[in-house]
Structure 1
Amino acid sequence: MTDAIPTWRESGEGRRGLVLLHGIGGGSGLWGPTLPALEDYRVLAWDMPGYGASPPVEPGFPALAAALGRMLDAAELDRADLVGHSIGGMVALEFALTYPDRVRSLVLYASPPAFGGRGPDFRDRFLAARLAPLDAGRGMAALAPEVVEGLLGDDPDPEAAPAAIASMAAVPESGYRAALATLVTFDRRADLGRVEVPTLVLVGEADALAPFPVMHGMAGAIPGARMAIIAYAGHLAHLERPTEFNAMLCSFLDRVAED
């Protein structure tokens, strides 16, 4: 569906538009701990195509970026601040490189510039591990707990794991499979120097999927990018350490708003 418009949840009363783009096991509802910190913005939390009530699009990041553009059009937003988690950060980076005039600032959270940069063997193992339960007919509800357990860092907020498991269990299997197939194609390392907007690279100290050395290298390749590290957090820092995450996010957004 090349003209499909993603659905979104909206909150806040500010005039400045901000878009939250969830990770591969998430959805618009998984930003609950983040929203109270963003009351001064008009916040749009999308459901990625194939998730929630959002119609699917053809595979690939160009199609996802185009879908984000249609959502902004439908919401009557010419420009927005983009906050992308994991695959959502990849969509945000793709969008910023393709439609730079529509992005005010960029937050790349737990989102490396390429997936499986360690080689095709890593990608193959990752896909096999994620798809094996589904191929065996166990479904998303069976997959979710074991995946989420591997994403968390040390001593997360007690509400983090239940929220992440419930969110992932609710993801349509078809949407999840399509997202995985798209995820492993991402590689924008050669284009980081073309990012033209204020950028924050945000990483959990214990995140194995977006490790510090990779994220630090990405921050160094993006002109003027800032980097923030959340101690003890894994891949779901906004759930694991919401107070620290919100403080770092809002500090960056406030600084951008002043410029």
Structure 2
Amino acid sequence: MMADLPSWIEAGPVDAKTTLVFLHGIGGGKKGFQSSVDCFASKGYRALAWDMPGYGDSPLTGTLSFDSLAKSLERMLNQANFQKAVLVGHSMGGMVALQAWTHCPERIEGLVIAASSPAFGQQDGDFQQQFVAQRLAPLNAGKTMAQVADRLVPSMVAPQALPAGAMLPDYPPGLALAHACMSAVPPNTYRAALQALVTFEQRAALPSISVPTLCLAGEYDKTAPPEVLRRMAQKIPGAQYQCIPGVGHLMGFEQEAPFHQAILNFCTTSF
């Protein structure tokens, strides 16, 4: 691979009718979607999951922005040698998918926007500045990304997902994986991703989306509440909306089966 090309994992037949590309969130990585890649490969799909630039095995050259992420994604699609894909974006990955629609719509067969939003706001807004300050406070105080994960993971799941006061050894496997992914994010990448996140704005692009789209919410998601996903679906022509009960923002890590089933149902009926 080229030195600046994003790293990815994949499985499934290269000549599959439909290819899925899983795009992780700000605290994720390709390893968080390994089981999703395996699941859809077993059902006859070609499935890939990338490390965004700066994550895992993907180098970050230059600045991190949604424009640069969309360009990196297109380079990966070229290198992986397929023309069109269904992009499955979780959280910040959903934003990358929407950005990709504005950058290379001819490469997109469909969209699954999960636990995400079409906009965050302006970088200099009070809410955005407070959000960045709160998220960076632990790092600025000398905490590690593992300690950041200690605080954030329990705040992003459904009330019943973790016992009160649960520590990492007591986490169920899916949430232990989410914790491991977040712990592995380089602090400088996390800082850069947060700064990019609060600049995201693609609400105007929603009416232009002309491919099958699923907006997927988690019942207890406080980061991207169901109402945000429902309103987004209303602005995308023909889009579907679904809310997975009993999960929060980390939906696929909390309950993998309904997350996969929602995507499978969408793909089965749309492609």
Instruction: Establish whether TM, by shorter chain, passes 0.5.
Output: yes
CA–CA distance in structure 1, aligned partners of residues 268 and 144 of structure 2: 42
- 1:105-148 CA-to-partner distances (Å, cap 9, x unmatched) read 0000001101158x923222221111011111212111111011
- 1:57-116 CA-to-partner distances (Å, cap 9, x unmatched) read 423111100000000111111111100001111001110122111000000000110115
Secondary structure in 2 matching 1:34: helix
Q: Which runs of 5+ in 2 are unaligned?
A: 163-171
Q: Give the corresponding residue for 2:140.
A: 135
Query: Structure 1 residue 29 and structure 2 residue 31: aligned?
Result: yes
| Pairs aligned (count) | 255
CA–CA distance in structure 1, aligned partners of residues 84 and 121 of structure 2: 31
Residue type of the alignment partner of 1:19:
V
Among residues 112, 115, 120, which one is paired with 1:115 in the alignment? 120
Deviation at 1:33, TM superposition (A): 3.8
Q: Is the 8 A contact 2:66 2:200 kept in 1?
A: yes
Deviation at 1:229, TM superposition (A): 0.5
Q: Give the corresponding residue for 1:51.
A: 55
Q: Is the 8 A contact 1:37 1:250 kept in 2?
A: no
Deviation at 1:42, TM superposition (A): 1.3
CA–CA distance in structure 2, aligned partners of residues 185 and 172 of structure 1: 21
Query: Structure 1 residue 7 and structure 2 residue 7: aligned?
Result: yes
User: 1:1-259, aligned counterparts within 5 Å?
Assistant: 4-13=4-13, 15=16, 16-39=18-41, 40-57=44-61, 58-116=63-121, 120-156=125-161, 158-257=172-271
- 1:18-68 CA-to-partner distances (Å, cap 9, x unmatched) read 110001101000113423430211111000000011111423111100000
- 1:208-236 CA-to-partner distances (Å, cap 9, x unmatched) read 11111111110000010001100121001
CA–CA distance in structure 2, aligned partners of residues 196 and 99 of structure 1: 13
CA–CA distance in structure 2, aligned partners of residues 246 and 116 of structure 1: 30
CA–CA distance in structure 2, aligned partners of residues 154 and 13 of structure 1: 39
Residue type of the alignment partner of 1:6:
P
Q: Percent identity?
A: 45
Secondary structure in 2 matching 1:32: helix
CA–CA distance in structure 2, aligned partners of residues 204 and 36 of structure 1: 23
Q: Is the 8 A contact 1:33 1:238 kept in 2?
A: no
Deviation at 1:154, TM superposition (A): 2.9
Residue type of the alignment partner of 2:20:
L
Q: Which runs of 5+ in 1 are unaligned?
A: none
CA–CA distance in structure 2, aligned partners of residues 36 and 11 of structure 1: 6
Q: Is the 8 A contact 2:7 2:50 kept in 1?
A: yes
Deviation at 1:185, TM superposition (A): 0.4
CA–CA distance in structure 2, aligned partners of residues 147 and 136 of structure 1: 16
CA–CA distance in structure 2, aligned partners of residues 136 and 171 of structure 1: 17
TM-score, length basis structure 1: 0.93
Q: Is the 8 A contact 1:156 1:241 kept in 2?
A: no
Q: Give the corresponding residue for 2:168.
A: none
Q: Which runs of 4+ in 1 moved over 4 A?
A: none
Q: Give the corresponding residue for 2:165.
A: none
CA–CA distance in structure 2, aligned partners of residues 47 and 71 of structure 1: 10
CA–CA distance in structure 2, aligned partners of residues 181 and 127 of structure 1: 7
CA–CA distance in structure 1, aligned partners of residues 244 and 20 of structure 2: 22
Deviation at 1:159, TM superposition (A): 2.0
